[in-house]
Amino acid sequence: MMDGYAPTAEPAAPPASKRRAWTPERAPTELRQKSWRARLTPWRGLLLVVLLPTLLVAGFEYLVAADQYESEAHFILRGAQPSGGGGGLGQLLGLGGAAPNATEAYGVSDYLLSHDAVAAARRTLDLPTLFRRPEADPLTRLWSGHPQPETLLKYYRRQVDVRFDADTGITRLSVKAFRPADARDLAETLLRLGEARINTLNQRSFDNGLSVARRQLAEAEAGVAASQATLTGFRQSGRDIDPERSGAAQIALASVLSQQLAQARAQLAGMGRSVSPDSPQYVALAAQVRGLEGQVAAAQSRLAGSSGSIAPGLGVYEGLRLKQQFAAKRYEAAAQALETARERSLTQQVFLVRVVEPNLPGKALHPQRLKITATVFFSLLLTYAVGWLILAGVREHAG
């Protein structure tokens, strides 16, 4: 033995009881197991990340997921105002109306997906029961039989889809349910709710468009009534039904008396050259002239010159008549404005026209099992490939 060198002791062999006896029959089995493990080790990540989740999704879709039927309906919103030329889909359908603004179509679409539509539909259909049919699977059914409004609305929006095509003006309504009749009934209910909403909006727009015109007409009517009452009071206080005619008659009387006075004076002047002033004829004619002069003075006094004369009262009467005529013209203008507003509001009415009625589906279109499974598979495969490339790059840089 050399100094500083100690021989290494060999490990002791295991006891004979714990050693596995080698037999020719066991050797191929152990080799095969090692061979399969060696082959599967590189694909273990692919199996766990891609194939196993895909099999789970496929098993759920084909064995658990319930069939859902889709009912579809199409409608457009048509204006009441006739269009000049028009064409396209409107002429094809024989509608002959002007296309309304897309705002109305978007408004109806928004309403059909709102709390109001859900609440209105529940008055006709039992939506929780409809979404909790026995054939529904646990993941796609409505869980609660008495859901909160927000929960029901969220589920409702998963089952109901409303889309407006701005190019064609057609709104597409699709409803999914676990039974064909449920899908059709819900689609029909929503169409009726859309029609009712359009009618409500039309009535509201009609009332708003006429409210100003009606208020102006009421004010004009009040003005006419007030002017008529004032004029009637003036006639009663003056005890004259028509001061204008009374004034004209008084003027005519004064004119006739003035003409008679002029004639009498002329006769008196001619008689004075041939007859003595003391003669009875001259005295009588002179008395007649003096009488005519008094009558003319009285007539002219009644026309003007005193507080009780016709002229001041006639001026007030003419002012009242002018106000009455102005009130009447204002009333005519307000009545015409009301009629114009009514016609304009009628031409701006919008109507929901059904293009495709809700159908009774005969085949379940949902869930799209093959599409869902393929989407999951290729998405996971892409994710696995990206992850593998990243890990490969990291290992290469680390090495």
- Give the whole-angstrom CA distance, residue 15 versus residue 260: 173
Asked whether residue 308 is domain-assigned, the answer is yes
Asked whether residue 163 is domain-assigned, the answer is yes
Judged against a pLDDT cut of 70, whether residue 23 lies above it is answered with no
Residues 322 and 352 in one domain: no
Residues 70 and 203 in one domain: yes
Contacts of residue 150, defined as CB under 8 A and 6 or more positions apart, other chains included, come to: none
Asked whether residue 331 is domain-assigned, the answer is yes
Residues 351 and 204 in one domain: yes
pLDDT given for residue 5 in this prediction: 41
CA atoms 326, 327, 329, 334: torsion sign: positive
- Give the whole-angstrom CA distance, residue 118 versus residue 111: 9
pLDDT given for residue 236 in this prediction: 64
Residues 255 and 286 in one domain: yes
pLDDT given for residue 311 in this prediction: 53
Report the candidate in 189, 168, 166, 159 with the shortest Cα–Cα distance to residue 106: 166
Asked whether residue 29 is domain-assigned, the answer is no
47: amino acid identity, one letter: L
Asked whether residue 227 is domain-assigned, the answer is no
Residue 30 and residue 102 in contact, taking contact as beta carbons nearer than 8 Å: no
Report the candidate in 82, 104, 107 with the shortest Cα–Cα distance to residue 95: 82
Residues 80 and 162 in one domain: yes
Residues 193 and 245 in one domain: no
pLDDT given for residue 397 in this prediction: 79
pLDDT given for residue 361 in this prediction: 92
Residues 325 and 352 in one domain: no
Judged against a pLDDT cut of 80, whether residue 215 lies above it is answered with yes
Q: 315 lies in which domain range? A: 239-345
CB atoms within 10 A of CB 190: 24
Last residue of a domain, one of 356, 379, 394: 356
Query: What does the block give as tokens for 29?
Result: 């089995």
Last residue of a domain, one of 306, 323, 345: 345
- Give the whole-angstrom CA distance, residue 147 versus residue 131: 11
Residues 351 and 328 in one domain: no
Cα 253 to its chain centre, rounded Å, is 71
Residues 125 and 165 in one domain: yes
Report the candidate in 153, 166, 172 with the shortest Cα–Cα distance to residue 72: 172
Judged against a pLDDT cut of 80, whether residue 79 lies above it is answered with no
Asked whether residue 250 is domain-assigned, the answer is yes
pLDDT digits (tens, 9 = 90+) for 233-291: 766 665 555 565 655 666 676 677 677 777 777 777 777 677 777 777 777 777 777 77
CA dihedral 360, 363, 367, 370 (to 10 degrees): -150
Residues 74 and 121 in one domain: yes
Residues 91 and 195 in one domain: yes
Contacts of residue 304, defined as CB under 8 A and 6 or more positions apart, other chains included, come to: 310, 311
Region 181-205 average pLDDT: 92
Q: Say if pTM beats, i.e. exceeds, 0.85.
A: no
Query: What does the block give as tokens for 302?
Result: 């009644």
Asked whether residue 386 is domain-assigned, the answer is no
Q: How many domains does the chain have?
A: 2
pLDDT given for residue 65 in this prediction: 82
pLDDT digits (tens, 9 = 90+) for 329-361: 888 888 888 887 788 777 778 889 999 999 999
What is the pLDDT of the chain when averaged over all its residues? 77
Residues 255 and 209 in one domain: no
The CATH number of the domain where 187 resides is what? 3.30.70.1130
Asked whether residue 2 is domain-assigned, the answer is no
- Who wins on pLDDT, 354 or 65? 354
